[in-house]
Amino acid sequence: MKLSQVKYIVEGALLTAHEPLQLNDLKKLFEVHECPAAATLEKALMELTAEKASRPVFLQQVASGYRYQLQPDLMSRVQQLSESRRPNHSQAFMETLALIAYRQPITRGEIEQMRGVTTVDHIMRTLLANEWVRIMGRKEVVGYPALYGTTKKFLDDFNLKDLAHLPPLPAMPTIDEMMNTNLYGDSA
Amino acid sequence: MKLSQVKYIVEGALLTAHEPLQLNDLKKLFEVHECPAAATLEKALMELTAEKASRPVFLQQVASGYRYQLQPDLMSRVQQLSESRRPNHSQAFMETLALIAYRQPITRGEIEQMRGVTTVDHIMRTLLANEWVRIMGRKEVVGYPALYGTTKKFLDDFNLKDLAHLPPLPAMPTIDEMMNTNLYGDSA
Amino acid sequence: MNAHHDTNTSDAVPSVPAVINGAPLDELPTDLYIPPQALRVFLQQFEGPLDLLLYLVRKRSIDILLVDIVQVTEQYVAYVNMMEQLAWDNVANYLLIAATLIEIRSRALLPPPIEDTPVDELSPEEDLLRRLRAYLPFREVVKDLDALPQIGRDTCMVSIPFAQAARPPTIAVHDLSTALNNFIARNEAEQHYFIAPEKITTESKVQYIVSRVHTKRKVALIDLLEAREGRMGLVTVFIAMMELVKRTIISLVQQKPYAPIYLRDISSKR
């Protein structure tokens, strides 16, 4: 595989990853037969790092691996924008966060199974990026899926002392209540 | 402000946004005195869109704005890194979605009448949980059944700018075509 | 059957609809006998009754408007009967189409009605054809819709985290519990909302009709129908009745057009 192609793949993965990636992670991007040598991967990373100057994001090596981050001179502008935008958290987003908060530790598969949806990718990304959610460990089952839980920042941002202070879940509604509750927010 | 600098700022904001950004959002990146004209912003977006070819991510306009997204040829590799499974939708699921998309607003009964099959609950549930479909109102007939339609998120998730960009619906076949044409790729 | 379907992406009806013991089953057996397991695999390829009907009609190149409808009907009803033995959820939908086919068949066998049918009213076969034709474009467009690059499947959004973003909380903590509650309630509601109807089988209706006809000799069709069983009950009684006529256990009597239809026991005369 040509270096340019290795760079293309590695850059794509790093730009869309929600946590820093290590060399070992990057190797998983390739089939066994096409996997580049460690030296090639490092060369690709070096070249991607060097592209820094004129681009708004740059590759940075941190303790837990490589990640792209925003140029510092753009930080205040972008922050200003994100604060002005009232993030329109979707129902899916709220439900996912609620499931993690009340049912932690929970795997992504469990969330998907409960919600019946497989496309929570961007939601998990946002939750991890917000640092409201973190990986707490791995579940001891096939595939060792990550177990997600809420962070201290989540507690801070929601003005909670600890998880015990989450509002209690009202008792399960009776069937009658369920039939009459306005579940979809429509004008039933 | 030079076009190159506008591009640099806009690209940085779009690469770090959690949701697609609209022109109005992008304007907030600039101080009042330096804010570029709408035409300049649009030119910047156009040029950024054109850079697509050799880059692993590219700028795409969808219903709720502009966003950077991964080249599809990299998706399966990137999925190796996360635990996300590739969602595969059944023909029944997609037919239901297609009927809602092309015939909205439509009731569940009308969908069932068209497909000749009772809509399975979990299909509607997944469509609603995915936020691809929402209840738009009630039909003014006995029982006031819910009228379903597609959401902006459906357009976003399918990379569509608006409903007019849906793939064209094939014309209703004549009886002759139905009997004789190779509609299904089978050899009937 | 949709439950089976949803675990895999089914394409349009493939040219080889099923593989049984390694051998492709690409023709409908002419004698209509398929081992039940094979039939199950075969029928799983179809999205529903319209799909199956379309397949039968096309494979046989049968003009649905002509008398050949008999052949398709028989085949269709045979499949539906087998399906019922396999206890599928979706049988009611198939039965409804079967009833329509039977109606078409019975009309084909009867002399044309004396009064002309109103022009703006479609005959059952025309209506069925119209439904098949209206359904096809949607069946087809799925390919194109599914080919669109989808977020989460073919692509994902780039959103590089930028740290130090001390965003003020924009969600009240109360919203969280509300979200989870709505979620739980919605799931529960949908799980309990649908009250499964009693299973009505052709066989049970056959026995019911036989017992009624046996004791009373002559029973009005209208007395066999129960409103609470709805469409499904109606269709099942109809099929059971046709079955009993075929087995020459009962005969149908009608004094004049639009008069009540009676079922008469003819088995005891033999």
- Report d(CA B35, CA B46) in Å as an integer: 18
Paired residues of B134 in beta bridges? B149
Q: B interface mutation test: which of C146, C188, C231 has the most B CBs within 10 A?
A: C146
Question: pLDDT: is A178 or A147 the higher one?
Answer: A147
Q: What pLDDT is attached to residue C2?
A: 38
Instruction: Show residues of chain C in contact with A181, CB under 8 Å.
Output: 185, 189
pLDDT at B96 over 90: yes
**Residue of chain B minimizing CA distance to C190:** B121
User: What is the reported pLDDT for C11?
Assistant: 38
Contact between chains at C141 and B18 (C-beta distance less than 8 A): no
CATH topology of domain B91-165: Arc Repressor Mutant, subunit A (1.10.10)
Chain B residue nearest residue A6, CA to CA: B56
For chain A, which residues make up each domain, given as ranges? 3-74, 91-165
Spatial neighbors of A156 by CB under 8 A, at least 6 apart, are none
Which residue in chain B has the smallest CA separation from A143? B83
Residue whose pair of structure tokens reads 């049912």 in the numeric block? A103
Determine the pLDDT at residue B151.
Answer: 94
User: Is A83 near chain B, with CB under 8 Å?
Assistant: no
pLDDT tier at B58, thresholds 50, 70, 90: very high
Q: Is C107 helix (H, G, I), strand (E, B) or coil?
A: helix
Q: Does C251 touch chain B (CB under 8 A)?
A: no
pLDDT at res. B108:
93
Set of chain A residues whose Cβ sits within 8 Å of the Cβ of C162: 69-70, 75, 78-79
Please report which confidence band the pLDDT of residue C192 belongs to, taking 50, 70 and 90 as the band edges. Answer: very low
Q: What are phi and psi of B58, to 5 degrees?
A: -145, 160
Between C201 and A66, the more confident residue is: A66
pLDDT surpassing 70 at residue C9: no
B186 near C152, Cβ under 8 Å? no
Identify the chains in contact with B, defined as 3+ C-beta pairs within 8 A: A, C
Shortest CA distance from B94: residue in chain C: C142
Identify the weakest region by mean pLDDT among A67-71, B93-97, C182-186. Answer: C182-186
- The alpha-carbon gap from A18 to the nearest alpha carbon of chain B, in Å, equals 9
pLDDT for res A82: 76
Instruction: Give residue C78's identity as a one-letter amino acid code.
Output: A
Measured between beta carbons, which residues in chain C are less than 8 angstroms from residue B73? none
Cα distance between residue B103 and residue C106, in whole Å = 35
Q: How confident is the model at residue C31 (pLDDT cuts 50, 70, 90)?
A: very low
Query: Which class is A3-74 in CATH?
Result: mainly alpha
- Could you tell me which chain A residue has the CA closest to the CA of C169? A157
Q: Do domains A3-74 and A91-165 have the same CATH topology?
A: yes
Residues B179, C58 contacting (CB under 8 angstroms): yes
Average pLDDT over residues A25-45: 90
Do A13 and B81 make contact, defined as CB atoms within 8 angstroms?
Answer: yes
The predicted-structure confidence for C208-236, as pLDDT tens digits, reads as follows 888 888 888 888 888 888 777 777 777 78
Instruction: Pick A76 or A159 by higher pLDDT.
Output: A76
Cβ separation C10–B70 shorter than 8 A: no
Name the nearest CA neighbour of C51 among C5, C106, C8, C105: C5
Judged by a CB distance cut-off of 8 A, whether residue B19 touches chain A is yes
User: Do C131 and C50 touch, CB atoms closer than 8 A?
Assistant: yes
Q: Which residues of C touch A13 (CB under 8 A)?
A: none
pLDDT in tens, B29-50: 998 888 888 899 999 999 999 8
ipTM of this predicted structure: 0.72
Q: Which of A28-32, B62-66, C256-260 has the highest mean pLDDT?
A: B62-66
**What confidence category does residue C21 fall into, taking pLDDT thresholds of 50, 70 and 90?**
very low
pTM of the model: 0.64
Q: Which of A88-92, B102-106, C62-66, C114-118 has the lowest mean pLDDT?
A: C62-66
Average pLDDT score over residue span B104-128:
87
Q: Which helix (H) or strand (E) holds A76?
A: helix A72-84
A157, A179, A186: best to mutate for the C interface, most C CBs within 10 A: A157
- Model confidence over C67-104: pLDDT tens digits? 456 666 777 777 777 766 655 556 666 777 777 777 76
Question: Where do we find the tokens 């003009």?
Answer: C63
